[in-house]
């Protein structure tokens, strides 16, 4: 890890509040540090004249406004507009006070691991699926590559991930999405579903968000047609192990378009943009089933996620910048042209 990223890693240990904050360590990011002595970092990418920041600013609450103001001036001086993607409600409230525009992009399920349980009629179907997987001989282990390497398991994990990407027909997502990273695990935690033959059926990779004693279930890969109960067993056993290790909070990641913005123009553009990305570029999962899948595990609460931008007048370029940041090789300027056409059509109707 470079010296700069080591500084970022230490800042995350103190101020990493956003569930996906660990992924700002990925090499696609540039870092903004204060010139006025504020302890903090904002990770961003430069896309289509937008400085797109990844999640919340990583700093103390008391420094937040001053730090963001400094970053905003840096953007203006560089001739860029300023945009924050996938920010928490706490950070959005700060940006709102500063005059940023924003809209809601989804909801994120959180689990209080000290109180969470899957008892009662509500979880009967999930328990039945889990029991089926156990009867088939499936079990969950934590794989610790920094302690003992198992080439067979790593090879199977890479094969599952490769197959998943081939089916999705895109490159590996970037920006606030992690990667398998078996060569450089860092603080990642790996949980595997093994069958009776000691082969990997599915796996999850988790990353910490230290400021909330939290863990983010970042990546899950499984076979194309898994045995019933495979993913349910993986998630619930992962929760159990993480609780035993002292984690207090877990997140399954935001469900896009769950209870999005009420601004009709923006709402329609977001819907059309992401529908376009799914149907034409094979990018995103279908949104409603993803929300329902996460809901079945009984989250303790849901928190909203937002995009925020300055100047506060909305531009289609913001959506394009997000799509481009997540898949730099797959998104072209044709997408921006399509988004502008969609936006023009919406404004003519609303």
**How is 291-347 classified by DSSP, letter by letter?**
HHHHHTT--SEEEEEEEEEESSS--HHHHHHHHHHH-TTT--HHHHHHHHHHHHHHH
Termini Cα distance of the chain: 50
Buried b (16+ CB within 10 A) or exposed e, 217-227: bbbbbbeeeeb
3-107+268-283+305-349 and 111-251: identical CATH topology: yes
Quote the pLDDT of residue 279: 45
Three-state DSSP at 173 gives coil
Q: What are phi and psi of 32, to 5 degrees?
A: -105, 125
**How is 70-120 classified by DSSP, letter by letter?**
HHHHHHHHTT-EEEEEEE-HHHHHHHHHTT-EEEEEEEEEEEETTT----S
Quote the pLDDT of residue 327: 73
Quote the pLDDT of residue 342: 58
99 contacts 108 by C-beta, under 8 angstroms: no
Per-residue pLDDT tens over the stretch 222-264: 998 899 999 999 999 999 999 999 999 999 998 765 444 455 6
**What pLDDT tens digit does each residue of the chain (350 aa) get?**
588 999 999 999 999 999 999 999 998 899 999 999 999 999 999 998 999 999 999 999 999 999 999 999 999 999 999 999 999 999 999 999 999 998 888 889 999 999 999 889 999 999 999 999 999 999 999 999 999 999 999 999 999 998 887 776 555 667 888 889 999 999 999 999 999 999 999 999 999 999 999 999 999 999 988 999 999 999 999 999 999 999 999 999 987 654 444 556 555 555 555 555 544 444 444 455 677 889 999 999 999 999 999 999 887 788 778 887 877 766 665 565 665 665 565 555 54
Quote the pLDDT of residue 320: 79
CATH, domain range 3-107+268-283+305-349? 3.40.630
Three-state DSSP at 122 gives helix
323 contacts 171 by C-beta, under 8 angstroms: no
Quote the pLDDT of residue 200: 98
- The residues spanned by each domain of the chain are 3-107+268-283+305-349, 111-251
253 contacts 18 by C-beta, under 8 angstroms: no
Distance CA 61, CA 70 (A): 15
CA distances from 244 to 14, 110, 117, 237 (A): 22, 17, 14, 11
178 contacts 23 by C-beta, under 8 angstroms: yes
Q: What is the average pLDDT value for the chain, to the nearest integer? A: 87
Distance CA 233, CA 69 (A): 45
In CATH, the architecture of 111-251 is: 3-Layer(aba) Sandwich (3.40)
Quote the pLDDT of residue 349: 53
Half-sphere exposure of 195 (CA within 13 A, CB side): 14
Tokens standing for 330? 């797959």
323 contacts 274 by C-beta, under 8 angstroms: no
Q: Which residue has the tokens 């998104």?
A: 331
């Amino acid at each position: 890890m470079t010296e700069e990223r080591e500084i970022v890693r230490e800042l995350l240990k103190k101020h990493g509040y956003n569930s996906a904050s660990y992924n700002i360590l990925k090499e696609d990011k540039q870092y903004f540090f204060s010139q006025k002595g504020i302890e903090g970092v904002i990770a961003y990418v430069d896309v289509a004249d937008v400085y797109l920041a990844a999640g919340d600013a990583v700093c103390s609450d008391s420094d937040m406004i001053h730090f963001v103001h400094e970053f905003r001036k840096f953007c203006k001086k560089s001739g860029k507009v300023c945009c924050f993607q996938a920010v928490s409600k706490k950070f959005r409230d700060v940006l709102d006070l500063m005059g940023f525009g924003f809209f809601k992009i989804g909801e994120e399920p959180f689990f209080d691991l000290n109180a969470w349980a899957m008892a009662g009629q509500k979880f009967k179907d999930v328990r039945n699926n889990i029991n089926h997987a156990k009867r088939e001989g499936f079990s969950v282990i934590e794989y610790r590559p920094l302690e003992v390497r198992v080439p067979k398991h790593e090879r199977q994990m890479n094969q599952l991930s490769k197959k998943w990407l081939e089916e999705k027909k895109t490159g590996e997502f970037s920006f606030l999405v992690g990667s398998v990273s078996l060569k450089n695990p860092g603080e990642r935690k790996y949980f595997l579903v093994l069958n009776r033959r000691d082969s990997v059926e599915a796996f999850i990779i988790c990353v910490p968000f230290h400021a909330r004693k939290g863990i983010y279930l970042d990546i899950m890969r499984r076979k194309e047609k898994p045995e019933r109960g495979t993913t349910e067993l993986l998630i619930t056993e992962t929760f159990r192990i993480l609780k035993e290790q002292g984690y207090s909070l877990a997140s399954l990641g935001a469900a896009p378009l769950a209870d999005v913005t009420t601004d009709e123009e923006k709402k329609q553009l977001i819907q059309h943009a992401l529908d376009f990305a799914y149907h034409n570029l094979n990018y995103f999962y279908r949104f409603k089933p993803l929300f329902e899948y996460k809901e079945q595990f009984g989250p303790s609460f849901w928190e909203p996620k937002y995009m925020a931008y300055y100047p506060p007048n909305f531009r289609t370029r913001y959506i394009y910048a997000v799509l481009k940041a997540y898949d730099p090789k797959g998104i072209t300027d044709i997408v921006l042209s399509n988004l502008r056409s969609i936006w023009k059509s919406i404004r003519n109707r609303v």
